[in-house]
Structure 1
Amino acid sequence: MLLVSVYTLLSLAACVPTSFADDETCQMSTRLVKNQLTKTSECGERIESWGKKVDDTFVRMATEIEKLASIVRDTREKQYQIARTVQYTACQKANSVYELTAVGGKRYHFHYKAMTWQRAKEFCEDKGMIMATPKTQSELSALHRTASYHASDKWWWTSATDEMHNRPGEFYWADGTRLYHSDDLWHSSNNEPDSYKKGVDVCAEFSPKTAAKLEDALCSDEDYVVCEVPPVCL
């Protein structure tokens, strides 16, 4: 803001050829200029003071932000360590399960007791494992072959289900990946999947007494269980 007006400066400039002491107008202009320059100086000092306060505020804010960032980093590190500990404990439990069977680079536990899909899921998780998740035909075929040695006339649950997102016919594996109706894993020649049309939760199963393919059945049905050692534990 220009505190010394242009008019005052012009008046003062007009006094240059004359004697200030002899011209009352020039003296008034001089006093006015001095007064306005003093105010300008005071204003500048206030602005400088405000600027310093703003700088100090930003420094304090930056310090607090850095403290918060440090807390977030520490919290994430603790969460990571907890997750690692939980995972390590689960892996120890999974790998100590009696009668693990190696199939196609993975390890499974075949349990000879029929139970609902939800109970089967809980059973596997209690052992630090997940339900069998054969996402390729080679994996499913290997499981199909091995299951025939254990109980050839039984049905076995897998982790795929449509209950995860409560959307009938929309199947997902335990790791959250989608199992589409067009996937070759389904027993399409038998019109599978088809049980989801009943409007209730359905889960994917397989049996050695049929082709090495998946079929869907009511999750409330009771099948045998295949648990799988999680990939992170292999």
Structure 2
Amino acid sequence: MKSQMLKSIRMGRQLLMLIVVLAVSVKGQSNAGVSEEVKQLRIITDMFREAVDKGNNKQIKCHLQSAWQIVKSLFEKQDEMEKEENQLKNQISLLEKEQAEQDNLKKICDKVTEEKALLEKNWANESLVALRLDHFKQLNEPKKKCPPADSINLKTLSNGKKYFFNSTAVNWSRANELCDKQGLHLVKIKDLHDTQIWMTELSYAWWVSVKNQGTGGEKDFRWRDGTKLDLNSPLWWENADKTHDCVYINTWRKGKLNSHPCYGTSYTVCELPRECY
């Protein structure tokens, strides 16, 4: 009987050591169930010590069984918490990976945006440089000889300027070439007064020297001498289609300007250069 009691006491002490280890391992954890079971273990420990002091073997055995059940529950909960902790770590790792991928994509998007802006700027600069070079070439080209007064049939209109009219329908490039060969150039409209003149002198549609110099869908209409024709200029017909690159004056449109495909055909009106008057 005494040996059994001593054995129970040794087992109880070992269990007490285990309880201490478990109590340390769960210290600081916020799990309410674990904290409650640790409190129960402490109560059973006190009861176990009291039973040992009294030599009550039955109570010692009962307290050991109760403590063991709680210890098993603690082990199971600790395993569950470790699994949850591992799951949380995996989720955090995935979130960090996704965040890193998003940050990398943002950097790529920002880089593409910067390169796009740089390309657009370069295109605009190249277009402007090309236009200025073309205008410079025109200024420095040897002046063409003025056509002899009797070589072509020039007509003087009420604005005092002289023009050559060709009623053969051709595309814009052919009309421009036709004027150049005769020492003339496609007409330039200066103001609304000119449009009124065309209303009285012409019918149908006639090419003018303005052409789109823009790139990448940008519209930058310029006259032959490089002067800009603003998109809001009153010279445009109020419902003008400005999607094409070449322009004609249309008497059906109140003698105002309208864009037209360059490969389309219209009549040609050439103007005598100022230096030939």
1:110 equivalent to 2:160? Answer no
Partner of 1:207: 250
Structure 2 letter corresponding to 1:113: T
With the length of structure 1 as denominator, give the TM-score of the two structures. 0.53
- The counterpart of 2:199, out of the listed 127, 131, 144, is 144
The answer to whether residue 248 in structure 2 is matched with residue 194 in structure 1 is no
Q: How does 1:1-234 map to 2 (within 5 A)?
A: 86-87=142-143, 90-93=145-148, 95-103=149-157, 104-147=159-202, 152=203, 154-162=204-212, 164=213, 166=215, 168-188=218-238, 190=239, 192-196=240-244, 202-234=245-277
Aligned-residue offset at 1:155: 1.2
Identity of aligned residues (%): 27
Partner deviation per Cα, 1:119-161 (whole Å, 9 max, x = no partner): 10000000000001012111122123211xxxx2x21100011
- Note closer, same or farther for the CA distance 1:143–1:118 as it changes in structure 2 (3 Å cut): same
TM-score (norm 2): 0.46
Question: What is the aligned residue count?
Answer: 136
Query: In structure 2, do the counterparts of structure 1 residues 96 and 175 end up closer, same or farther at CA, with 3 Å as the change threshold?
Result: farther
Cα shift at 1:166? 4.3
Conserved 8 A contact 1:111-1:224: yes
Superposition misfits of 4+ residues, deviation over 4 angstroms:
none
- 1:231/1:210 CA distance change after superposition, 3 Å: same
1:165 offset after TM fit, Å? Answer: 5.1
Q: Secondary structure at the match of 1:112?
A: strand
Q: Which is helix-richer, 1 or 2?
A: 2
Distance 1:193 1:135, change over 3 A: farther
Deviations 1:181-200 (A, max 9, x none): 11100012x1x24323xxxx
Q: Which has the larger radius of gyration?
A: 2
CA distance in 2, matches of 1:227, 1:123: 8
How much has 1:213 moved relative to structure 2?
Answer: 0.9
State how far apart, in whole Å, the 1-side matches of 2:191 and 2:269 are.
16
Task: Give 1:97 shift.
Answer: 4.0
Letter in 2 for 1:158: V
Higher RCO structure (Cα 8 Å, ≥6 apart): 1
Residue identity opposite 1:212 in structure 2: G
What are the superposed Cα offsets for residues 204-225 of structure 1, whole Å, 9 maximum, x if unpaired? 1122223121111111100000
Unaligned stretches of 5+ residues in structure 2: 1-139
CA contact (8 A) 1:97 1:127 kept: no
Describe the SS at the equivalent of 1:124: helix
Any stretches of 5+ residues in structure 1 without a counterpart?
A: 1-81, 197-201
